[in-house]
Amino acid sequence: MFTGIIEDIGSILSIKKSSGKWEFSIKTVLAKAGIREGDSVSIDGVCLTATTITGDGFVADASLETLRVTTLAEKKTGARVNIERAMGSDGRFGGHFVMGHVDCVGTIADKKKAGDSVRLSVEIPLDFTRYIVEKGSVAIDGISLTVNEQRHNIFTVNIIPFTTSKTTLGEKNPKDKVNIETDIIGKYIESFLIKDKNKGVDLDFLYKHGYVRGD
């Protein structure tokens, strides 16, 4: 699990493509800070496994399914990417629950200055808009952000100068693609409500178990 607090901007040193997977060689200062073989590492919000540790980074494989549902298939050698190691059990939780399991690819619809910050509007497929909530959390390219507004299939976030300097979001422009992961809590709630309507959570259930009072 990750927090959405980016630790480093790395770069893609090489991409080795085969019929069953793509092998990404990533340069990052975090390799010297404690990435080991088998560790989970978030690359632009995509959870991958470090298969080999190199002198200045690590190597990770992306399956065909991962390439299909994320922006990794569009990456080129030299591209800058957001890097975060999986959260340690003794770490502080500074962002929100980020799993590294990308829900969909979004498109930057608009980019505007808002004081010292940058306001980004992101368009996503309609099927995923039910998981976007104003003042709720969302991860864009692995970065934990707060949703300011949501209308139809477009939501907006505010990027403060610190985030711009420590991530790749400041480099994004309209029409650029980004990885989107919605809040896992909303997806679990939806699953509980619809999995079994006869045994699911409804108003009667809440009354029966004391969550709602009748007076």
Pick the CATH number of 104-182 from 1.20.5.440, 1.20.120.1760, 3.10.20.520, 2.40.30.20: 2.40.30.20
The encoded tokens of residue 185 equal 């809590």
Residue 203 — pLDDT band, cuts 50, 70, 90?
low
- From the CB of residue 7, how many other CB atoms can be counted at a distance below 10 Å? 18
Res 34: pLDDT: 84
Diameter over CA atoms, the chain: 67
The encoded tokens of residue 100 equal 């590294």
pLDDT per residue over 87-146, tens digit each? 876 666 677 889 999 999 999 999 999 999 999 999 999 999 999 999 999 999 999 999
pLDDT per residue over 42-76, tens digit each? 999 999 999 999 989 999 999 999 999 999 999 99
Range scoring the smallest mean pLDDT among 24-33, 93-102, 138-147, 168-177: 93-102
The residue to which tokens 């829900």 are assigned? 103
Give the residue range(s) of CATH 2.40.30.20 domains in the chain. 8-85, 104-182
What kind of architecture, by CATH, is found in domain 8-85? Answer: Beta Barrel (2.40)
Residue 107 CB-density burial (10 A; 0-12 exposed, 13-18 middle, 19+ buried): middle
Q: CA nearest 73: which of 39, 46, 37? A: 46
Residue 196 has pLDDT above 60, yes or no: no
Given a contact cutoff of 8 angstroms between Cβ atoms, the answer to whether 147 and 155 are in contact is yes
Count, in order, helices (H) and strands (E) of the chain: 4, 12
